[in-house]
Structure 1
Amino acid sequence: MSESDQPAVHAQDRERVDPEERIRPMPILPAVIAVGMVLFGIIYIINSGPYTNPALGDHRTLADLRPQAAGGGAGGGAVDGGAIFAANCVACHQATGKGLPGVFPPLDGSDWVHGEPRVLANILLHGITGEIEVEGQKFNGQMPSFAQLSDAELAGVASYIRSSWSNKSEPIDAAVFAAERKAGAARTTPFEGGAALKALAATGN
């Protein structure tokens, strides 16, 4: 049989059709659930109240969020003076209350701590700069003001250091800090060393 007598073989007869990629649509049920969840979220946000105006919140102030002294303020929660001391004072005065010799004065046994409550209140409210003598040692440095703390917080930390280590003095009420804060409202600088604190104690101002 000659080549002309053989049947013609076409390309599509000897090769398979190229595979095609088809997109399978998402099943209807999961699609409905997804859309329902999105709609639910939108409706929930819309109905959850004002969320663009911060003045329309729960109306609590910073004072409401601060811990309150026992028996005073909203909720009557007690201030943790030890925690305030650890957060603000321990780096200088140390956990032992002994301070650092020649650098930071001790609180343990200090006359400034267990002496006149008004003086300690003013130290915490306004700070000190210059020379001060503590337990027979002279220190010349600077202690910052902690007036940013509330009266209850200041009373808490003052009461803590007055009753810790070898100190056995009575606590200080927050009212003392409130009164001294008001009386010293015009002061914008720290006390100039121990001499200024002694003058404060002597004059009662």
Structure 2
Amino acid sequence: MSQDPDTRAQRRENIDPEEAIRPMPLVILLVVVFMVLWAVGYILYTEPLDLSRYGDQRTVAELSGPAPAAPGAAVDGKALFAAQCVACHQATGMGLPGVFPPLDGSEWVQGDTRVLANILLHGITGDLIVKGSKYAGAMPSFQHLSDAELAAIASYIRGNWSNKAGAVQPDLFAEARQEGSRTTPFEGEAALKTLQK
């Protein structure tokens, strides 16, 4: 007896799957309910999470930064240099070749203090030759620092590494602030040379 092709095809196919209602096992449901209740209880009955032992333990005073120096107190030029300048000019004062000029052995650092004061106060953009190498970049203004802080930085960089120049007094920066009404950085070496005596 021969079967028609449709009947043979039907016999080769599997029965379509059916979904039956299969409830979650009672044990699993109890475990989940217990875990949720335990978590809620833990959150409600534990200590608050704002205690300092759970995170950053620095005080508000430490996070506020260094306190301003009292009038007449010495300002730490090394600490100010580390906070303001070291990212570009490096702790060694050697800068980054081709990017940031060195302060160690720099004719601009050891030269005329009026020029150095104006560089710190107003910044500089454009081409600058330091120790025979050309740098084209930008240095920001540090007018937001006090005269004593700027003098401490200038004195630090003039007297460290291989530099042996003398210290700078805060009144130099006070005079430089009063002399000019400059609101933009100096445009390269040419603009700085106009300050030199």
Question: Does residue 1:175 correspond to 2:177, yes or no?
Answer: no
Structure 2 Cα separation of the partners of residues 85 and 194 of structure 1: 23
> Are the aligned partners of 1:99 and 1:107 in contact in 2 as well (CA < 8 Å)?
yes
> Equivalent residue for 2:96?
100
Following superposition, the deviation at residue 99 of structure 1 comes to 0.2
Query: Per the alignment, in what secondary structure is the counterpart of residue 131 of structure 1?
Result: strand
> Equivalent residue for 1:67?
69
> Equivalent residue for 2:160?
164
TM-score by length of 1: 0.63
Query: Per the alignment, in what secondary structure is the counterpart of residue 82 of structure 1?
Result: helix
What code does the residue aligned with 1:66 have? P
> Equivalent residue for 1:87?
83
Query: Per the alignment, in what secondary structure is the counterpart of residue 182 of structure 2?
Result: coil
Following superposition, the deviation at residue 199 of structure 1 comes to 1.2
Structure 2 Cα separation of the partners of residues 129 and 140 of structure 1: 7
> Equivalent residue for 1:78?
74
Q: Between the two proteins, what is the percent identity of the paired residues?
A: 66
Query: Per the alignment, in what secondary structure is the counterpart of residue 200 of structure 1?
Result: coil
Q: Flag structure 1 segments of 5+ consecutive residues without an equivalent.
A: 1-64, 69-73
What code does the residue aligned with 2:108 have? W
Question: Deviation digits for residues 75-118 of structure 1, max 9, x if unmatched?
Answer: x2100000000000000000000000000000000010010000
> Equivalent residue for 1:125?
121
> Equivalent residue for 2:62?
none
Question: Deviation digits for residues 43-95 of structure 1, max 9, x if unmatched?
Answer: xxxxxxxxxxxxxxxxxxxxxx6225xxxxx3x21000000000000000000
User: Where do 4+ consecutive residues of structure 1 move more than 6 Å?
Assistant: none
Question: Does residue 1:201 correspond to 2:179, yes or no?
Answer: no
> Are the aligned partners of 1:67 and 1:153 in contact in 2 as well (CA < 8 Å)?
no
Following superposition, the deviation at residue 173 of structure 1 comes to 0.3
Structure 1 Cα separation of the partners of residues 116 and 150 of structure 2: 10
Report 1:137-148 matches (<5 A).
Answer: 137-148=133-144
Question: Deviation digits for residues 98-145 of structure 1, max 9, x if unmatched?
Answer: 000000000000010010000000000000000000000000000000
> Equivalent residue for 1:114?
110
Question: Does residue 1:187 correspond to 2:182, yes or no?
Answer: yes
Q: Flag structure 2 segments of 5+ consecutive residues without an equivalent.
A: 1-66
Query: For this pair of structures, how many residues does the alignment match?
Result: 131
Structure 2 Cα separation of the partners of residues 66 and 198 of structure 1: 34
> Equivalent residue for 2:61?
none
